[in-house]
A and B are shown apart, each in its own frame.
Chain A
């Protein structure tokens, strides 16, 4: 069970797996992120971060496995019988930890050097042209230090992709089998494998989970703002109470009662008139 190394470039292969894997797991992680936020637990620190990481690892393993199998089958015509997600995710994560550590220092250093060099160049420009306006200075300075930093970051990302791509290729050589199916068959067979037998059950389950998560979200969400502005709070405008004047109040009540009595009398008179009016005269026969 061995295949020759795929001819596709390592960077392209790693990017295809990692990019699709990231976006496959992202929505699920976002749900957890939002629920933590709604419950007022910061997902970027302490227990929130720990919970999010604990949830992210299995999601990523599943996502990498799913997308890697798809890439292998559709682009390389290779099938892997055993587990894919865990071994690839493990290698990608280990490389990622190393590269992030390197990036922390390298990018940090390039930001520092870039800013110093940019400031020196601005100083030189100001010697020649002392009236350099602030808006132009900001943009020139920004470009001067961000361009090298972006380039360094891109190179580091490419190094990680190259290394991860090598590991993927080695994994394929050891575990892959060439699929005998043609392109059409491969695309369709993989489709059918992913389409469930009962789509209504799947849709119902997804809808049910969505409803459950929505309810949980609204239960967690604070009813009033948890972030009142410290400088501009809601100003309570107290309504001035009207002073009570007993004489006026009595007069007003008497007038209202008199009006009500007059209306009542009018209504009774109208009722009597109506009663008289309804008595029809007897018809005379021919």
Chain B
């Protein structure tokens, strides 16, 4: 650092103990050294910050009323300088967040990093996963076009199938018999106030637990190798995180440029030619609901509520069921096969839902 920078650094350090903070943040030892597999958490934080920044920029122009939501979104796309790009970045950023959450959870699962003493990190992570999905769901309605309106209708109908609380949640979210002003207001408040606050709190807790338990490190390698490669968080892991963030940023920007947001017709209670469907990351569930074995009230409840709820419960209970200290995924065949089945299942059902559009058209 040159003279002036050093003086500023010393000034701040004297007042807030910058060196101690820096040492705590940067000098965390990483057993076995830095890895590309560890970048997902940092990338998720980066995507969230970018979503917050672009979201705030969009709020300067967006009007959350049924009379103006569609027109103000159109205005952002067509009139505001770079508005189309900011909106498209925000749109693709939400998808990137879902993809990264899946990648992060997969890495933690495959590395066995949910095992003792990291159970709490895993549980808070699951709650964060729920929040990310809720972000996507509530944000989708805001442009108030046919896609938004009907995705929400479908989503709320799925929630309605939950026993006991389903009806209440559906009525609370809709605020009336059909999506309208109350729905838009509630989704807007949840999207820009409640969820960001909850996510910031839980992400802080997640990081706190992570720093308390420390990184799990690689699942294989001799003690000598791991010791030789052990490194501090700075500079190599920081560098890897920055490169991963840059790649994600460039990918989101590219998607925003290749496939920018284009609104359909303004929302109305008649779907017309439009075939209602939820966002792409709920398509697998939507396709599952189309299966004949899940027809009828009970079948819909099983597919829409019971299976996802049981799956989430199983994930929550995982660290307490799987108590074996073995972390090497190649020595945990049940875990490896289960992960592969779930991922392939989601992929196949999502592609099936896309192919299903042709039949509907």
Contacts and interface: CB of A to CB of B under 8 A. Distances in A.
21 contacts: A30-B254, A33-B254, A34-B253, A37-B253, A134-B290, A134-B356, A136-B291, A138-B355, A139-B348, A139-B352, A143-B348, A183-B224, A184-B224, A187-B228, A218-B82, A221-B82, A221-B85, A225-B78, A232-B265, A233-B78, A234-B78
Contacts of B265: 232
A118 to B, nearest CB: 12
Contact of A142 (B145, B235, B352, B359): B352
B140 to A, nearest CB: 17
Contacts of B291: 133, 135-136
B188 interface: no
Interface string A215-233: 0011001011111110011
B250 interface: yes
A38 B82 CA distance: 12
A76 to B, nearest CB: 14
B359 A187 contact: no
B264 interface: yes
Contacts of A277: none
B85 to A, nearest CB: 6
Q: Which 3 A-B pairs have the closest CB atoms?
A: A225-B84, A135-B290, A30-B250
B349 A224 contact: no
A6 to B, nearest CB: 18
B78 A138 contact: no
Interface in B1-25: 1
Nearest to A150: B344
B65 interface: no
B257 interface: yes
Interface in B115-167: 145
A138 B74 contact: no
Interface string A162-189: 0000000000000000000001100110
A200 interface: yes
A71 B351 CA distance: 37
Contact of B352 (A31, A138, A235): A138
A27 B262 contact: no
B220 interface: no
Interface in A113-165: 133-136, 138-139, 142-143, 146
A30 B292 CA distance: 44
A138 B356 contact: yes
Contacts of A133: 290-292
B36 interface: yes
A229 B263 contact: yes
A31 B250 contact: yes
B310 interface: no
Contacts of A217: 253
Contacts of A229: 262-264
A63 to B, nearest CB: 12
A200 B359 contact: no
A221 B257 CA distance: 9
Contacts, number: 99
B84 A135 contact: no
* Of A27, A143, A195, most B-chain CB atoms within 10 Å: A27
B174 to A, nearest CB: 25
Contacts of B107: none
A235 B355 CA distance: 33
Contacts of A138: 352, 355-356, 359
A225 B263 CA distance: 12
B260 interface: yes
B235 A37 contact: no
Contacts of A187: 228-229
Given A30-B254, A199-B235, A232-B263, A224 B81 contact: yes
Given A184-B224, A225-B78, 18 more contacts: A26-B247, A30-B251, A37-B258, A38-B257, A133-B292, A135-B292, A138-B352, A142-B348, A143-B348, A183-B224, A183-B228, A187-B228, A188-B228, A217-B253, A218-B82, A227-B262, A229-B264, A232-B264
Interface in B210-250: 224-225, 228-229, 235, 243, 246-247, 250
A228 B78 contact: yes
B282 interface: no
A146 B347 CA distance: 12
* Of A30, A139, A223, A227, most B-chain CB atoms within 10 Å: A139
B247 A27 contact: yes
B183 interface: no
A2 B285 CA distance: 58
B79 interface: yes
Contacts of A223: 81-82
Contact of A34 (B75, B83, B257, B262): B257
A23 B244 CA distance: 10
A225 B77 contact: yes
B51 interface: no
Contacts of B1: 200
Contacts of A31: 250
